[in-house]
Amino acid sequence: MTSAARPLTRRRPRTERIIEVLLFLSAALGVVTTIGIVLVLAFETLEFFREVNPIAFFTGTLWSASIQPRAFGVLALVSGTILVAGIALIIAIPLGLLSAVLLADYASPRVRTLVKPILETIAGIPTIVLGFFAVNVISPQLLIPILGKQNIGGFSALAGGIVVGLLVTPLIASISEDAMRAVPRGMREGAYAMGATKFEVVRKVVFPAAISGIMASIILAMSRAIGETMAVLLAVGTKPQFTLDPTESVQTMTAFIAQISLGETAQGSIEFKSLFAVGATLFVLTLALNLLSGWFVRKFRTAY
């Protein structure tokens, strides 16, 4: 009678609950990862600060982790990192934004099918390959012939910055293109109706309207450039120094971490511990940039 007609789904089968819990746990795994990163970095960095004065670490400009007399002034690595990332952005911002404008407003479907794969291919190249390119092509065949052998060596911040710039260009291009495409057609047509030329529409309507996405893309590119390891490791050399001269050989934070792990360093030694302090600095710096990028999107987003 009635029991036969009772719908099966009135009581929720227990498997449904179990599945939901399993799915939730999968999503929560990311939080575990984050907590793991923060705990490991914080714990090991505090260990390091028992032996090295944190003030000397954050304000010192001399870095010599393995060679006596030791010095742990992280600014030498930070300056190298900022130098490389700065050069990268000087290259990637114009290349990325011009590509984005081309894709969003200028390109005919035929040009698009040519331009998109170029950007996607560059984005897909493993970064170690770009490091190889810096050492074997950019330095010997472009920089040394132009600047002269006495002015620039085989390893330089400039060579590293150029390949990192290539590496982050697709990132700027794709996020900025999305932002420019999101500008409604009506706004463009309004400007055209007032007699604006295509360039004026792009410069005075599309660009300002898409500025939040464009800024976000640039900050993300900066964060990516700061965190890049393999290309920089090969290209910039291994000489940590506090300089903003792009022709010098420098060392970035990531390249230092890589170099220590490549070497025969004993795991309990002070130079191995310094790796975690540098890692923590890198983590905080990139996290701040990523949060800033998200803030830009929310703060300046105009809903159309």
Interactions with other proteins, residue window 222-281 (CB under 8 A) = 223-224, 226-230, 233-234, 254, 257-258, 261-262, 275-276, 279
Site string for other proteins, 50-79 (x = CB under 8 A): ------------------------------
CB of 289 to other proteins, least distance (A): 8
Q: Which is nearer to other proteins, 43 or 59 (CB)?
A: 43
Interactions with other proteins, residue window 5-24 (CB under 8 A) = 7-9, 12-13, 15-16, 19-20, 22-24
Q: Which is nearer to other proteins, 78 or 289 (CB)?
A: 289
N-term to C-term CA, the chain = 57
Q: Out of 11, 30, 50, 185, which residue is the one contacting other proteins (CB under 8 A)?
A: 30
Whether 269 contacts 275, CB under 8 Å: no
Positive or negative, the CA dihedral 74, 77, 81, 83 is positive
Give dist(CA 291, CA 135) in Å, integer: 34
Residue type at 251? Q
The three-class DSSP label of residue 24 is helix
139 is a contact residue toward other proteins (CB under 8 A): no
Q: Which is nearer to other proteins, 62 or 102 (CB)?
A: 102
CB of 99 to other proteins, least distance (A): 6
Q: Out of 194, 204, 291, 301, which residue is the one contacting other proteins (CB under 8 A)?
A: 291
Interactions with other proteins, residue window 165-194 (CB under 8 A) = 166, 169
Determine the size of the site formed for other proteins (CB under 8 A).
84
> What is the pairing mode between strands 63-64 and 71-72?
antiparallel
Alpha helix segments (H runs only) across the chain = 2-5, 14-51, 54-59, 75-101, 109-124, 127-133, 144-147, 157-181, 185-193, 198-201, 207-209, 211-227, 230-235, 253-262, 270-300
